Amino acid sequence: MPQATLHTDRLELVPLSDEHIDLEVEIDADPLVLRYLAPRARTRDEAVAAHAERMKRGTRVDGLGLWVGFTVCGPQREFAGLWMLQPPHGPSQTFTPGEADLGFRLQRRWWRQRYASEGARELLRHGFDDLKLTRIFAQTMAVNRPSRATLETLGMHYVRSFHEDYDEPVPGSEHGEVEYEIRRTDWPPRQTALL
Ligand SMILES: CC(C)(COP(=O)(O)OP(=O)(O)OC[C@H]1O[C@@H](n2cnc3c(N)ncnc32)[C@H](O)[C@@H]1OP(=O)(O)O)[C@@H](O)C(=O)NCCC(=O)NCCS
């Protein structure tokens, strides 16, 4: 099954392709976006190399990969960021059929407007309902409060802490990494009653 184009009320999520390289270069050039992901912003060459890796990973498991998110609610369709639902691939991840790694990275001007959680919620739905995944997890630095808050909003649960070895440590990595998960049996998460 090829990767699907997905829609939410305010976003169109389009499978990553070579035509999106300049958008990846743009988002990875912002040191604040990469603050908890890399020791510094990426050069164009580094972003192009990252794109090639992402495209390769996107061929490993049908339906999984990266999506480029565009806003569809304003007067113009604008690039909001990247969303990921990838086969497990990181140094602290074991490739397991039926599992995928969730991620998101938004342009700074779209932060705190519930775009990350809106797109990610659609990826969780797609992963469980359409791709029949059994477990979706996410890993982030322990000190990445915005990422952890987003994962918690999605109904994902903390499962473990661990340490990763970095060639060039990212400030804050000394506090370690955390992993969150949600299983198909817990999807969709129960809504908290509104009082
Ligand atoms: C992490 C990131 C994607 C969050 O995007 P966002 O669109 O601002 O997130 P949302 O608006 O959907 O917020 C989701 C929840 O997290 C909370 N949140 C978001 N940013 C927060 C912050 N800086 N501090 C505390 N809570 C925060 C929101 O209040 C919301 O909670 P609520 O539903 O209870 O109100 C964004 O900050 C980002 O792109 N950061 C840089 C890249 C990165 O670190 N990605 C994660 C790597 S693992």
Please identify which residue in the block is written with the tokens 């499962």: 159
Summarize pLDDT for 58-114 with one digit per residue, the tens: 899 999 999 999 999 989 999 999 999 999 999 999 999 999 999 999 999 999 999
Cα angle, residue 99 at apex, residues 165 and 84 outer, rounded to 5°: 70
pLDDT surpassing 80 at residue 1: no
In the chain, the domains with their CATH numbers are 6-186 (3.40.630.30)
Is the CB of residue 86 less than 8 Å from the CB of residue 64? Answer: yes
48 confidence band (pLDDT: 50, 70, 90): very high
Backbone angles phi, psi at 154, to 5 degrees: -80, -5
Which residue from 13, 150, 156 has its CB within 8 A of the most atoms of ligand 1, so it is best to mutate? 150
pLDDT at 193: 53
pLDDT of residue 119 exceeding 60? yes
For residue 120, give the ligand 1 atom closest to its CA: 12
150: CA distance to ligand 1 center in Å?
A: 5
Number of Cβ atoms within 10 Å of the Cβ of 182: 23
Q: Atom 27 (ligand 1): residue with closest C-alpha?
A: 146
State which ligand 1 atom lies nearest to the alpha carbon of 139: 48
Q: What is the DSSP letter of 20?
A: G
Atom of ligand 1 nearest to the CA of 141: 48
Pocket-testing residue among 8, 78, 112, ligand 1, by greatest number of atoms within 8 A of Cβ? 112
Report the candidate in 53, 62, 86 with the shortest Cα–Cα distance to residue 4.
62
Q: CA-to-CA distance for 129 and 63, rounded, in angstroms?
A: 12
Compute the distance from residue 16 Cα to the ligand 1 centre, in Å.
22
Long-range contact pairs involving 63-66 (C-beta distance under 8 Å, separation at least 24): 63/1, 63/2, 63/3, 63/4, 63/130, 63/131, 64/3, 64/100, 64/131, 65/3, 65/15, 65/16, 66/15, 66/16
84 close to 55: Cβ distance less than 8 angstroms: no
Is residue 47 within 8 A of residue 24, CB to CB? The reply is yes
Q: How far is the CA of 140 from the centre of ligand 1 (A)?
A: 12
Q: Choose the residue to mutate in 28, 83, 117, 177 for probing ligand 1, maximizing ligand atoms within 8 Å of C-beta.
A: 117
Distance CA 23, CA 26 (A): 5
Ligand 1 site residues, Cβ closer than 6 angstroms = 33, 36-37, 103-106, 111-117, 140, 144-147, 149-150, 153
Predicted pLDDT at 4: 97
What are 136's strand-pairing partners?
100, 182
Stated pTM of the model: 0.96
* pLDDT above 90 (res 55): yes
Please report the pLDDT score of residue 190 as a whole number.
Answer: 82
Q: How confident is the model at residue 166 (pLDDT cuts 50, 70, 90)?
A: confident
d(CA 98, CA 137): 11
